[in-house]
Amino acid sequence: MNAPTQFPPAMPAFAEPRHDWTLEEVEALFALPFAELVFRAADTHRQWFDPTEVQLSQLLSVKTGGCAENCGYCSQSSHFDTGLKASKLMEAADVIADAQAAKDGGAQRFCMGAAWRDLKDRDLPKVAAMISGVKALGLETCATLGMLTADQAVALKAAGLDYYNHNLDTGPEYYEQVVTTRTYQDRLDTLGHVRDAGMSTCCGGIVGMGETRRDRASLLHQLGTLPEHPDSLPVNALVPIGGTPLGDKVKAEGELDGLEFVRTVAVARLVCPKSMVRIAAGREAMSRELQALCFLAGANSIFVGAQLLTTPLPGQGKDAALMADLGMKAMGAA
């Protein structure tokens, strides 16, 4: 009889999250046989969460297009011609009405995104009114508004903001292939201001931008060694948009394999075991079976609605049918 294969040791049951991951350890998780990796991730998921529950979040673009950043994946960048028409910041009353509709549709968290390099103090009162109005509806509040100062983070917290999203996008080694108008340290500094203000962080990245597996491991290594793991960890699959450098690159070279996406979700669950791991952008193009594998591998949050900023989502009917067929329910539902 052949000797059993020796894998890297699994974490003990209910072990507290680690912050001392090495990049080599994260790479070793990616290299596990698929079934072993998913098994470990599913086991870890069950240690901290009910595996039949999924958090439902909805995201609204409150200010679209015209962004000064040159993120190579983004249709909202002013550097690229993607045919997207820029719009001004929405009125608070309109945002609150959309939040009420999202709540009526089953959303538990409402996220507000603005295509800005950074939040300007002149826009802070209107944004604060949006946040406080959405919070009054009984929804969790989240915003992604670009870079923040320490004082702005405190003001957003005072307005009732629960979560602030600021993704790292990728590992530091590949970062300059994605964006050059903002440094990696700029992103880390904003996350620090958010934590210091007492808000929860929402931070993840995008995969399928032409990066290597080591780059994906490096992203999760960065997240796993933060002073506090992200409370929410979105894993986005690049939606290749014509006119963007990375979108055109991926269309020419091919999109990321679905099983590699599941591996990324599973490693995210293992490295940040108490985080809400969200399947975010790209879900509309995923098969039901691929989404089910993601849930098995530890994902427990999705964006719902018809659209995610400027890219499509499956929609309420398809999501409800999938959850029913998988025997899953909205988090906290009876």
The DSSP result for 230-266, as a single string, is: -SEEEEEEP---TTSHHHHHHHHH-PPPHHHHHHHHH
**203 counts as catalytic:** no
Which residue among the candidates 40, 109, 142, 294 is catalytic per the annotation? 142
Prediction pTM value: 0.91
Which residue among the candidates 71, 203, 272, 294 is catalytic per the annotation? 71
CA geometry: angle at 314 spanning 312 and 319, to 5°? 150
Contact (Cβ atoms closer than 8 angstroms) between residue 289 and residue 258: no
**202 counts as catalytic:** yes
| Mean pLDDT, rounded, for 63-92 | 83
* Burial class for 1, CB neighbours closer than 10 Å (0-12, 13-18, 19+): exposed
* Burial class for 81, CB neighbours closer than 10 Å (0-12, 13-18, 19+): exposed
Which residue among the candidates 40, 111, 216, 272 is catalytic per the annotation? 111
Return the CATH superfamily for domain 54-330.
Aldolase class I (3.20.20.70)
**278 counts as catalytic:** yes
Instruction: Give the pLDDT band of residue 308 (cuts 50, 70, 90).
Output: low
Residue 199 phi/psi, 5° resolution?
A: -90, 160
**Above pLDDT 90, what percent of the chain?**
70
Which residue among the candidates 40, 109, 187, 202 is catalytic per the annotation? 202
**Above pLDDT 70, what percent of the chain?**
92
Distance between CA atoms of residues 207 and 80, nearest Å: 20
**Is residue 301 scored above 60 in pLDDT?**
yes
**Is residue 9 scored above 80 in pLDDT?**
no
Question: What count of other Cβ atoms lies within 10 Å of the Cβ of residue 214?
Answer: 16
Instruction: Provide the pLDDT for residue 230.
Output: 97
C-alpha distances (whole Å) from 120 to each of 154, 304, 309 are: 14, 29, 20
